[in-house]
Structure 1
Amino acid sequence: MRFINRHPGLGGRWLLALLPLVLLLLAYGVGSAMRLADNPDDKLLPGATQMLDAIAQLAFSEDPRTGEVLLWSDTAASLTRLLLGIAISALVGLCLGIAAGVFPLLGASLSPFLAVLSMVPPLAILPILFIVFGLDELSKVMLIVIGITPVLARDLEQRSREIPPELFVKAQTLGANSWTLVLRVVLPQLLSRLLLSLRLMLGAAWLFLISAEAISATAGLGYRIFLVRRYMAMDVILPYVAWITLLAWAMDWGLRWLNRRCFPWSEGGVK
């Protein structure tokens, strides 16, 4: 049997999925052990014991200055900003995508505008957002919105244009108006695509969030990472990076589950 035609079973799929992570942890463990053997005070590659002590302090002990458990307060602050930004982006992107992809008069104006807007580097306008919206929560949420909404809208616009014209003709023959076409024909086709697009944009949303928190914040996962970097506290930074990765994976899994639950007919999604 050719290699291209070989498929792993359920157990093999789990083993192959875990293999890169195991190899990465093994390489880190060997590198950390070698550096700590030469210098027990080395901070670049802390050992498991050092990171577990840092996690215990951050996740289960109250901060003497604020009285909060830092890991959970940082997580709550970051997730609030992220989820709000994603929710606004999904709603605005869906509306713009439908308007540009379904209505030719609106698309003639919106489509070029979205194309140009999607090329603007969001991090380049971060100082402008801080000037316009201030240094509080709004500027961080707006960076996420501006960063991912144009891409979402363009993707949904393209998906709108791929809907067979016959569906519109048949619906109008049965007496459907423009509003009915959007609700009964277009929207069911786009919601599954919206969930897929959000999955693909999660990494960018986290990037914009961490960048904003690193510059101006008093709480948040990105804020904490950039706060302790001056002390080379890798025993804090690495667990925080791992925690962010776990949160992003959980969100991706949740969107995938929601897509399968609500739209079992959808095909071609990211595995």
Structure 2
Amino acid sequence: MRLINQKPSHSKALVLGLMPFLLIVLMYVFASNARLHENEDDKLLPSFSHMVDTMEKSALSPSKRSGEVIFINDTLSSLKRLGIGVVISALMGLIISIPLGLIPLVRAGLSPFIAAFSMVPPIAILPILFIIFGMGEVAKVALIVIGVTPLIVRDLQHRVEEFSKEQLIKAQTLGASTWTLVIRIILPQMLPRLLDSVRLTLGTAWIFLISSEAIAATEGLGYRIFLVRRYLAMDMILPYVIWITLLAFLADFLLKKFTCKLFPWYENKDKA
């Protein structure tokens, strides 16, 4: 049987999926042991036990000043900013993309502007956001919205343009207005595609979140990473990076399951 036709079983696929992660862990353990053997005070590749000890002392124990657990507080602060930014971006993306993809006059007027605006590096305008909105939460959320919304808009616009012309023509033949087309045909089919688009832009949203927290914040995962980097505290930076990766993976997984649960027809259509 040709290699292209061989499909792994569920258990085999699970093992194959875990192998890259295990290899990375083994490589890190080997490199860490080698460096620590030469220098017990090496900070570049701390051992896993040292990282656990540091996290317990510095991040998982209640702060003597505030009484809050730093790690939990950082996580909740970052997730709140990310959640607000992504939800606003998704709503704006859906509202803008449907008329862009459906109505030629709107597309002719706004599509060039959206394309040009999506090319502006959001990180470059972060100082402008801080000047306009101050150093608080609004600027951080605004950076996520400005960075993510154009990506969602352009993706969903193409999805709307891919709709079957025959379906739209039949609906108009039966007397459907433009508003009826949007509400009864376009919108129901765009919701699962919106969740797909959000999944694809989550990584970008995390980049903007960490960047804004690194520059101006007093709490958050990005703030903590850039705060301790001056001490070369890899024993705290690495666990935070791993935690951010796990949160991003979990969000992607939950969105995928939510899409399958809410829109089973969409999943079946893709498999067909």
- Identify the TM-score tier after normalising by the shorter chain: over 0.9
- TM-score, scaled relative to structure 2: 0.96
Flag structure 1 segments of 5+ consecutive residues without an equivalent.
Answer: none
1:92 matched residue in structure 2: 92
Moved more, 109-118 or 166-175: 166-175
Q: 1:210 to 1:101 in 2, by over 3 A?
A: same
1:44 matched residue in structure 2: 44
- Per-residue CA shift, 1:170-219, capped at 9, x if unaligned? 21222222221101110112111111111111110000000000000000
1:203 matched residue in structure 2: 203
Alpha carbons 1:85, 1:144 under 8 Å: kept: yes
Q: How far did residue 269 of structure 1 move? A: 9.6
Alignment of 1:116-265 (within 5 A): 116-265=116-265
Q: How far did residue 80 of structure 1 move? A: 0.3
Q: 1:270 to 1:131 in 2, by over 3 A?
A: farther
Moved more, 77-86 or 178-187: 178-187
Q: How far did residue 57 of structure 1 move? A: 2.6
- Per-residue CA shift, 1:32-64, capped at 9, x if unaligned? 001111111111000011111122234531111
Q: How far did residue 16 of structure 1 move? A: 0.7
Q: Give the % identical residues.
A: 56
| Residue 45 of structure 2 corresponds to residue 6 of structure 1 | no
- Counterpart-to-counterpart distance in 1, 2:77 and 2:134: 17
Q: 1:141 to 1:10 in 2, by over 3 A?
A: same
RMSD, matched Cα: 1.5
- TM-score, scaled relative to structure 1: 0.97
Alignment of 1:14-29 (within 5 A): 14-29=14-29
- Counterpart-to-counterpart distance in 1, 2:201 and 2:115: 17
In structure 2, give the amino acid aligned to 1:229. Answer: R
- Counterpart-to-counterpart distance in 1, 2:269 and 2:114: 24
Q: How far did residue 65 of structure 1 move? A: 2.2
In structure 1, give the amino acid aligned to 2:135. Answer: L
Moved more, 114-123 or 223-232: 114-123
- Counterpart-to-counterpart distance in 1, 2:97 and 2:233: 44
Q: 1:213 to 1:197 in 2, by over 3 A?
A: same
Q: 1:217 to 1:270 in 2, by over 3 A?
A: farther
Q: Secondary structure at the match of 2:266?
A: coil
Q: What is the number of equivalent residue pairs in this alignment? A: 271
- Counterpart-to-counterpart distance in 2, 1:58 and 1:170: 64
Alpha carbons 2:260, 2:267 under 8 Å: kept: no
In structure 2, give the amino acid aligned to 1:44. Answer: L
